[in-house]
Structure 1
């Protein structure tokens, strides 16, 4: 219990608490308008329709990957949990325009640290959607629970997004 509580602030043995990486409203992963995410091809998770252009670390982690286009970030928690935060849909086509990265691959981050800022209006105008999936890519090793209902408002770095428990 102490290990997870120390790393993630969780209060149950074996549960890692994952905070929201963005401020906005919850979208069920099954309702993301992209089959790769809605059919959980990359993993299980949840999505957020952002109301502000800032992504923060949802856990204490190492930045495994930040795409050159800055639209997606791969994180690895100290317990092995792997998260992908993918800002918007088809945003790779923006070639980094509208994104500012505050981290690079290999950086250690604490929950709440700013990872990327983005111009929400620019993405709304130039991409099919701003919906941002937050995916556990190694979901075969974790069970997700306590996922908020669709439409629930969340605050970056403050609202619990879900719990992840080792299988």
Structure 2
């Protein structure tokens, strides 16, 4: 009868900021693979924290053996790649601690990955983090909040166009 009181029963299909910091256009990422959107459209983040959080409700589809990248499948079918830093693949996992497992179900705000910031600073690693929609050709999305300060778990980053966003309310 009072559906608005049962918000938690409706799946949250939003894609939110995985960190608190500045959201920038992918073209600002000093890696042509991301800057030229070879892998897909999205956004990047410049931040001070040491934890990357799930930006969506869904499941962990991939964890790179080098721990610097995590793939997610949102409940609405958006494939997301979170890629931490520039040339971090060369660290072979050093400085990263994964906090989830492949196929694990996650909610928005679930810690995914911890970064040893001191080690990254010693090695002069740029930790700009990309959030890329890798199946953008099959979903109609819009990128939000480019050029603004965003808050982890609150600021919307990816919006599906032509989708009823009232979540059944």
TM-score, reference length from structure 1: 0.85
Structure 1 ranges of 4+ moved more than 6 A: none
Q: CA-atom RMSD, angstroms?
A: 1.8
Q: Which runs of 5+ in 1 are unaligned?
A: 9-15
Q: Counterpart in 1 of 2:161?
A: 165
Q: Which runs of 5+ in 2 are unaligned?
A: 1-8, 164-169
Q: Counterpart in 1 of 2:3?
A: none
1:90 aligns with 2:91: no
Q: For the structure 1 residues 146 and 28, does the alpha-carbon distance in structure 2 shift closer, same or farther, using more than 3 Å as the test?
A: closer
Helix, strand or coil at the partner of 2:52? strand
Give the CA deviation at 1:121. Answer: 3.1
Alignment match of 1:27 (pick from 8, 24, 28): 24
Task: Answer yes or no: is the 8 Å Cα contact 1:88–1:127 preserved in 2.
Answer: no
Q: For the structure 1 residues 70 and 43, does the alpha-carbon distance in structure 2 shift closer, same or farther, using more than 3 Å as the test?
A: same
**Deviation by residue 1:146-166 (Cα, 9 ceiling, x = unmatched):** 51132x111221222231337
**Deviation by residue 1:37-96 (Cα, 9 ceiling, x = unmatched):** 011100000000121011111111110101122110000012211000001111011111
For structure 1, which segment, 81-90 or 153-162, has the greater mean C-alpha deviation from structure 2 after superposition? 153-162
